[in-house]
């Protein structure tokens, strides 16, 4: 219903609505107003002081599950908050919630807790403690957005929780040894942290300490950390131990340049982590090299057209060496093996200096082989073939573009195409990159 205006006419003109008509409209207007008020969310609670919380005791304030708490004014409390299934909102920079107690300011157990648009001052305590039952249930989480944390000992302790989602958070003056820590043995759904600034980290502290937690997805995007140079941005298990098979940890467009060693345990070359566009941490890549040093090796060819690999050098101080092995393993037999879990398009390049034993002009050919079966009839990748017929040592370059899957391997193979004389190989190398 639209508002019903009362026609009051002009003073003493004896015009306008009758008394009955006027009050009929008045009653209708009031009825609609009260009807609207009665249909407003009953779960809205406006808080302007500690006393406005209806459920509290001497040490705790319990936020009732399903209620929406609107903080309308700044105030201070020494009581910690129990937050199962509640929502708390402030008025942005107009409201500061100060906690003067110790322990944890907000404790959330087996449910969601949503908090946004407020300044938090927590100088002697952890801001958030989220406790799940280690089942991976996504309801065991804190959703935090548009927060400014002026002081805290620690921002988050997450134990057996299903997920944590933090967006647009500014944290200053973190005095404890860890900003955020995670634990749990059953895979959580997701840890998502975006548009976060963490400043004032103390010496030796850790930003994100994933400990031995296992997650289906960890994502850090546009996270900036500053503090003592001895602090660490991200710490966790080696060899992608924090991420379940087939899933991904992503760190993109973050800034950790103030730290001497931004990563601990976790590495840019771990197969389930992807680092890209970060300051202070190199980009993840699929790359490896291997090269023959120390002299030359004689390859027994058998008969014309047979294919052989260099294999493990047998004498003269010759050996294989490597400088790069990111998501590849390199063997002393000159074989590069891809250990990434996702297929990649890989560029293969290489070179080998070859000659026929005893001199002469047999045609010597070099190729790449993927997953070579060791048979002399397996000629590897024909598209990578390169030949020389010179009687003196000649460097032959080869290359190819291939798709590599997990545990595929690459090596270099040789053939005397036009004779049975052995081949002398030296200064050989392979490089692979995506």
- pLDDT given at position 33: 55
Kindly state the average pLDDT of the residues 5-9: 55
Q: What pLDDT sits at residue 409?
A: 97
Structure tokens at 258: 């103030």
Confidence of residue 37 (pLDDT cuts 50, 70, 90): very low
Position 317 confidence tier, pLDDT thresholds 50, 70, 90: low
> Does 338 or 28 have the greater pLDDT score?
338
**Stretch 137-143: mean pLDDT, rounded?**
81
Residue 129, pLDDT > 70, answer yes
Q: CA–CA separation, 234 vs 264, rounded Å?
A: 6
Mean per-residue pLDDT for 174-189?
89
Model pLDDT for residues 39-73, shown as the tens digit of each residue: 445 688 999 999 999 999 999 999 999 899 999 99
Least confident of 23-37, 91-105, 232-246, 405-419: 23-37
Which domains can be identified in the chain, with CATH numbers?
A: 1-40 (no CATH), 44-276 (2.160.20), 287-433 (2.60.120.40)
Q: Scan for tokens 């992503």, then name that residue.
A: 250
Q: Is the pLDDT of residue 7 over 70?
A: no
Structure confidence at residue 243 (pLDDT): 94
How confident is the model at residue 39, as a pLDDT? 45
pLDDT computed for residue 161 by the predictor: 85
pLDDT at 1 over 70: no
Confidence at residue 60, expressed as pLDDT on a 0 to 100 scale? 96
Q: What is the per-residue pLDDT for 4?
A: 57
294 falls in which pLDDT band (50, 70, 90)? Answer: confident
pLDDT of residue 134: 81
pLDDT score for 177 = 97
Residue 332, pLDDT score:
84
Could you report the per-residue pLDDT of 403-426, keeping only the tens digit for each?
999 999 999 999 999 999 999 888
- What sign does the dihedral 278-281-286-289 (CA atoms) show? positive
pLDDT at 223 over 80: yes
The predicted structure's pLDDT at residue 40: 46
Q: For strand 141-159 and strand 163-172, is the pairing parallel, antiparallel, or unpaired?
A: parallel
Share of the chain above pLDDT 90, in %: 69
> Mean pLDDT for the chain?
89
Q: What is the pTM of this model?
A: 0.82
User: What is the residue whose two structure tokens read 């708490």?
Assistant: 69
Residue 42, pLDDT score: 67
pLDDT of residue 338: 97
pLDDT at 35 over 60: no
Rounded to whole angstroms, how far apart are CA atoms 70 and 47? 6
pLDDT in tens, 372-386: 998 999 999 999 999
Residue bearing the bigger pLDDT, 332 or 240: 240
More confident residue, 266 or 3: 266
Q: Is pLDDT of 299 > 90?
A: no
* pLDDT, average across residues 169-184: 95
Mean pLDDT of 232-239: 97
């Amino acid at each position: 219903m639209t508002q019903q205006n009362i026609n009051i006419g002009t003073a003493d003109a004896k015009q306008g609505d009758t008394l009955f008509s006027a009050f009929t409209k008045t009653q209708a207007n009031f009825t609609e107003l009260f009807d609207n008020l009665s249909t407003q969310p009953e779960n809205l609670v406006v808080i302007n002081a500690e006393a406005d919380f209806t459920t509290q005791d001497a040490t705790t304030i319990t936020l009732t599950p399903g209620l929406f708490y609107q903080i309308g004014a700044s105030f201070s409390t020494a009581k910690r908050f129990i937050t199962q299934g509640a929502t708390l909102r402030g008025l942005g920079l107009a409201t500061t919630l100060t906690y003067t107690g110790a322990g944890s300011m907000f404790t959330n157990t087996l449910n969601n807790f949503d908090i946004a648009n407020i300044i938090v001052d927590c100088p002697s305590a952890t801001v958030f403690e989220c406790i799940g039952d280690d089942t991976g249930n996504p309801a065991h989480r804190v959703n935090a957005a548009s927060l400014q944390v002026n002081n805290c000992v620690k921002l988050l302790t997450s134990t057996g929780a299903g997920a944590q989602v933090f967006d647009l958070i500014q944290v200053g003056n973190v005095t404890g040894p860890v900003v955020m820590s995670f634990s749990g043995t059953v895979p959580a759904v997701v840890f998502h942290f975006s548009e976060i600034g963490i400043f004032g980290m103390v010496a030796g502290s850790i930003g994100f300490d994933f400990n031995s937690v296992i997650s289906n997805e960890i994502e850090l995007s546009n996270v900036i950390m500053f503090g003592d140079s001895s602090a660490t941005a991200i710490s966790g298990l080696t060899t992608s131990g924090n991420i379940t098979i087939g899933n991904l940890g992503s760190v993109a467009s973050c800034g950790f340049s103030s730290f001497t060693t931004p990563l601990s345990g976790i590495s840019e070359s771990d197969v389930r982590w992807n680092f890209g566009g970060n300051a202070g941490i190199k980009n993840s890549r699929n790359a490896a090299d291997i090269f023959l040093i120390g002299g030359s090796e004689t390859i027994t060819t058998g008969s014309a057209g047979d294919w052989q690999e260099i294999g493990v050098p047998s004498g003269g101080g010759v050996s294989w060496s490597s400088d790069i092995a990111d998501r590849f393993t390199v063997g002393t037999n000159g074989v590069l093996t891809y250990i990434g879990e996702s297929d990649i398009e890989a560029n293969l390049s290489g070179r080998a200096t070859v000659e026929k034993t005893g001199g002469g002009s047999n045609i010597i050919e070099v190729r790449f082989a993927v997953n070579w079966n060791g048979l002399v009839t397996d000629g590897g990748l024909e598209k990578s073939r390169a030949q020389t017929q010179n009687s003196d040592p000649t460097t032959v370059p080869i290359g190819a573009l291939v798709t590599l899957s997990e545990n595929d391997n690459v090596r270099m193979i040789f053939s005397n195409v036009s004779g049975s004389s052995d081949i002398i190989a030296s200064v050989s190398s392979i490089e692979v990159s995506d």
